[in-house]
Amino acid sequence: MKKLLIALGAAAALMPALAQNPAAWPEKPVTIVVPFPAGGSTDMVARAMAQEMGSRLGQSFVVDNRPGATGTLGAGLVKRAPADGYTLLVSSLGAFVVAPHLLKTVPYDATRDFDYITVPVQAPNVLVASPARKEHTVAEVLAALKANPGKLSFASSGNGSSDHLSAEVFWQQTGTSGLHVPYKGGAPAINDLLGGQVDFSFQNVNAVLPHIRAGKLRAIAVTGDKRSPVLPDVPTLAEAGVKGAELYSWQGMAAPRGLPPAVKEKLAAAAIAAIQAPEVKKRMLDQGLEIVASTPAEFTAFQAREWTRWKTLIETRKISAD
C-alpha cells in the first residue's frame, strides 16, 4: 500500500507537466519581469516587445516591474519560476554581467540559471559636458583631467551602471582619473549635470538625446565602435584617439534555465520578430537604440564575453557597490 501511495503521488506531481503541451505555448498570459521601476529604458523596451509579441502569439504578455538590489531581486524571482515559458526577464546588462561581480551575494547564478533568448537592442553611451564646462573635444577633456587628477566630477546613475563603467574604462585607457559621483538613477544625475553641479557624464544616448538636441548638454564622443545614427556629427572615442573603450549598454531577454526546446524556439522567433516589427524598430531607432535581435546562441556567447570583460574591469579597478 505504501508503494502504491508513493507511485500515485509521483504520478500526480507529473500531471501538471504532462498537461502542458510545449508546442501549444502560450496557452495563458506570459509575465515579463522588469527588475527596474517603470519609465526607464528597459521598461520601455519590454513594454514595446510585450505588446508586439502578444499580438503575434494571440496571448497577453504582461510587464511586472520588480525593482530592487540593482536588478538582482527581479532576476532572482525569474530564476525561481518554472521553466515553462510563462515567466521571462527583460533586464539591462547590470543584472546579467555586472551586479554578480559587485554584490557579495545574488539570488542566482547568471552563468547557469537562465536560458538566454535575445538581445533586442543596444546603445552606446555618450560623453557629455555640463553647460558650465568649456571643453568641446576628447583632447580637451583629457587635458583638463591631467591638469586636475581626481578632481573633475563624472556623474552616473549608480555604482556599477554602464555610465559608471564607461568612465572607468575611459580613465583606464587614458591613464587619467576623475571623481565618480553616483546617483540613485539617471534622472537626478542628468538634472545635476544640466545644472552644472557635476562636470561630465557617460550617459545612455537615448537618455540625453533631447538635451543634446536642445543645446543644453554638449556631446563630445560616443562609446560605440561606430558613430550613432542619431548623433552623426559626434565622433567615437576611437576616432578621438582613445582605443579599447568601445562599449554598449544593452537589454536582454532571458527565461529560467531548462525551457522545452519547442517553447524556446517559438519564444525566440516571436521576440526577434517583435523588435524588428517596423513600428517598434522605428521607435527604438528614433531614441538612439540600435537593433540587435540576436539568436539564443548568439546571446549566450555574447553574455559569456561580457561576463569576463566586466569581471576583469571590476576586479582591476576595485569597483564596489558601496
SS (H, E, C) the chain: CHHHHHHHHHHHHHHHHHHCCHHHCCCCCEEEEECCCCCCHHHHHHHHHHHHHHHHHCCCEEEEECCCHHHHHHHHHHHCCCCCCCEEEEEEHHHHHHHHHHCCCCCCCCCCCEEEEEEEEEEEEEEEECCCCCCCCHHHHHHHHHHCCCCCEEEECCCCCHHHHHHHHHHHHHCCCCEEEECCCHHHHHHHHHCCCCCEEEEEHHHHHHHHHCCCCEEEEECCCCCCCCCCCCCECCCCCCCCCCCEEEEEEEEECCCCHHHHHHHHHHHHHHHHCHHHHHHHHHCCCEECCCCHHHHHHHHHHHHHHHHHHHHHHCCCCC
Region 242-254: mean pLDDT is 96
* High-pLDDT (> 90) share of the chain, %: 84
| C-alpha to C-alpha distance for 97 and 306, rounded to whole angstroms | 6
For the domain with range 124-222, which CATH number is right: 3.30.479.10, 1.10.8.50, 3.40.190.10, 3.10.330.20? 3.40.190.10
**CA Rg value for the chain:** 22
pLDDT class of 18 with cuts at 50, 70, 90: very low
| pLDDT in the model for residue 291 | 97
C-beta separation of 161 from 188 below 8 A: no
- Quick one: cell of 300? 549566450
Fold assignment, 29-122+248-317? D-Maltodextrin-Binding Protein; domain 2 (3.40.190)
Could you report the per-residue pLDDT of 165-176, keeping only the tens digit for each?
A: 999 999 999 999
Per-domain residue ranges for the chain?
29-122+248-317, 124-222
Question: pLDDT digits over 192-203, tens only?
Answer: 999 999 999 999
Q: What is the pLDDT of residue 226?
A: 95
User: Given pLDDT bands bounded at 50, 70 and 90, which one contains residue 15?
Assistant: very low
Can you give the pLDDT at residue 138? 98
Lowest model confidence (mean pLDDT) among 7-21, 87-101, 138-152, 229-243: 7-21
